[in-house]
Amino acid sequence: MKKIFASLIAVMLMASACFASAISIGNMSVINFDGGLKLHAYGTGDNMNDYCYVVETPEGLVMIESTAYRENVSAFAEYIRSLNKPLAGALFSYHPNGYKSYGDVKIYATESALKSWAEGGSVWGLTQSFIQAMGDKVAEDLPSSAEIISEGDTVKLAGVDFVILHESDGEGYGIYIPVINAVYRHMMGAKTHNILPAIPYIEAEISELKGYQEKGYALILTSHHAPEAKEAVAEKIAYLEKVLELAKTSKNREEFISAVKASFPDYSGEAYLEMSAGALFAE
């Protein structure tokens, strides 16, 4: 919780309070904004450090992402029901697992995101690998249909606009929430390694984050890190620029991993670094 509070100092200028709320598994932080708006940020505490969100307005609730494990999905669904407001929609991009637990809610997704959930898609493939490793602990149900949205669309749910953004991998999508000047993307984390599968992808990520700076987003929401203030973007750009340099100059994956660890010794997410190295230096 201390990390969450520290990273949200800038955001507190526009929000009236940030506090913890009870949930049966993991931790829930709630940020109160003017006009009766709240952002509920659920940290699952699992081995993937998943985060998912609920935007609460006077009119209702909007989900942003689900999570991987059944027990966390159940806890999150129970928490949402405890808010006693209608669930106006679910914006699922990279993490739609367990969607049935949330009831008859309209799911919004881009065609590319929906394709990634279908058999043979990237999210489907990851889910299958999780099932092989962890069995029925994994929430295996993935949506087969959704209300199709596109990059640049504005979706109004529970009285709030959600603007659909491009993501560098071309599969999922990001979200801008103008009323709280917040942006959601799959991965960031100022002091966390990310999955970086190719040099063009790293270059695209740098360009995208520099765009965040130009737009002045105040709050960054991701699926694998607690909410962060805009200062985290500059730190992430510096990380990506260094990793890009090391990816171009390292002779093999072992040299790359060693060099990245030496440059960023206090970063978490070592498994993601290993995945990046495997992709960048695949034979």
pLDDT of 159-209, one tens digit each? 999 999 998 888 899 999 999 999 999 989 989 999 999 999 999 999 999
Band (pLDDT 50/70/90 cuts) for residue 147 is very high
- The per-residue pLDDT for 134 is 93
Continuous segment of H or E residues that includes residue 132: helix 122-134
User: What's the farthest any 2 CA atoms get from each other in the chain?
Assistant: 56
Q: Which distant-in-sequence residues (6+ apart) come within 8 Å of 165 by Cβ? A: 151, 173, 174, 175, 176, 183, 185
| pLDDT recorded at residue 9 | 40
> pLDDT tens for residues 204-245?
999 999 999 999 999 999 999 999 999 999 999 999 999 999
Q: What is the pLDDT of residues 48-71, one digit of tens each?
A: 889 999 999 999 999 999 999 999
Under 8 Å between Cβ of 53 and 180: no
Q: Where are the domains of the chain?
A: 2-186, 190-217+231-283
CB 38: neighbour CB atoms within 10 A?
A: 19
Q: Which two tokens stand for residue 20?
A: 């913890």
pLDDT of residue 19: 64
125's CB contacts (< 8 A; 6+ apart) are none
pLDDT at 22: 83
Separation CA 223–CA 191 (nearest Å)? 14
Token pair of 89 as six digits: 């929609």
Please state, rounded to an integer, the average pLDDT across all residues of the chain. 91
- Give me the CATH topology for the region 2-186: Metallo-beta-lactamase; Chain A (3.60.15)
pLDDT bin (cut points 50, 70, 90) of residue 18 is: low
Given a cut of 60, whether residue 246 has pLDDT beyond it is yes
What is the β-pairing status of strands 38-43 and 51-56? antiparallel
In this structure, how many other beta carbons lie within 10 angstroms of the beta carbon of residue 59? 14
- Indicate the range of 91-100, 140-149, 167-176 predicted with least confidence: 167-176
Nearest to 25 by CA among 48, 43, 38: 43
- Band of residue 263 on the pLDDT scale cut at 50, 70, 90: very high
